[in-house]
Amino acid sequence: MAEYLQSRSTIIDYDVMMNAIEIAKILISHAQIAYGLMGIDQNIIDANSVLEWINNQKIKCFDKSSVTTKFKNRKAFKGKKIDKILSILIEQGYLKHYKDPTTKKPTDMYVVNPKIYL
């Protein structure tokens, strides 16, 4: 396509146009990934809800049952789904997981990274 800018020709041949379309497809795909426009995973949305709750309440530490209680009316926050949601926040550095050995049954606990409040 660049050669057509210099020649000022108004006719672009088929092969050049097809190459331009292929480049556009690649760039669109890249933009969708870069800007998250290709459809956000529901787990990401739910993880953001948990993060918003943590921020609003200035929570420093919580257990898994606190999340279950807070989001009891949302279907996504049941069973293994909660583990996935919390693991996203761990992977992103917002939380750290540990088991509290002082309880009868070791409890899943999560410490909030204090840097999120800066």
pTM exceeds 0.85, yes or no: no
Domain that holds residue 17: 2-35
CA 23 – CA 28 distance, rounded (Å) = 9
**Claim to verify: residue 25 and residue 46 sit in the same structural domain:** no
**Claim to verify: residue 73 and residue 95 sit in the same structural domain:** yes
What is the rounded average pLDDT for all residues in the chain?
85
**Claim to verify: residue 54 and residue 109 sit in the same structural domain:** yes
Number of domains the chain is built from: 2
- State residue 37's pLDDT score: 58
Over residues 52-73, mean pLDDT: 92
Q: Which two tokens stand for residue 68?
A: 């279950």
Return the CATH number at 76.
1.10.10.10
**Claim to verify: residue 46 and residue 100 sit in the same structural domain:** yes
**Claim to verify: residue 59 and residue 95 sit in the same structural domain:** yes
CA 80 – CA 100 distance, rounded (Å) = 19
**Claim to verify: residue 91 and residue 112 sit in the same structural domain:** yes
User: Which secondary structure element, helix H or strand E, spans residue 82, and what is its range?
Assistant: helix 80-91
**Claim to verify: residue 80 and residue 60 sit in the same structural domain:** yes
Maximum distance among all Cα pairs of the chain, rounded to whole angstroms:
80
> Quick check: 1 pLDDT over 60?
no
CA angle 59–69–87, rounded 5-degree value: 65
Question: pLDDT tens digit string along 64-116?
Answer: 989 989 988 877 677 788 999 999 999 999 999 999 988 888 899 999 999 98
- State residue 41's pLDDT score: 78
Q: Which residue has the higher pLDDT, 22 or 35?
A: 22
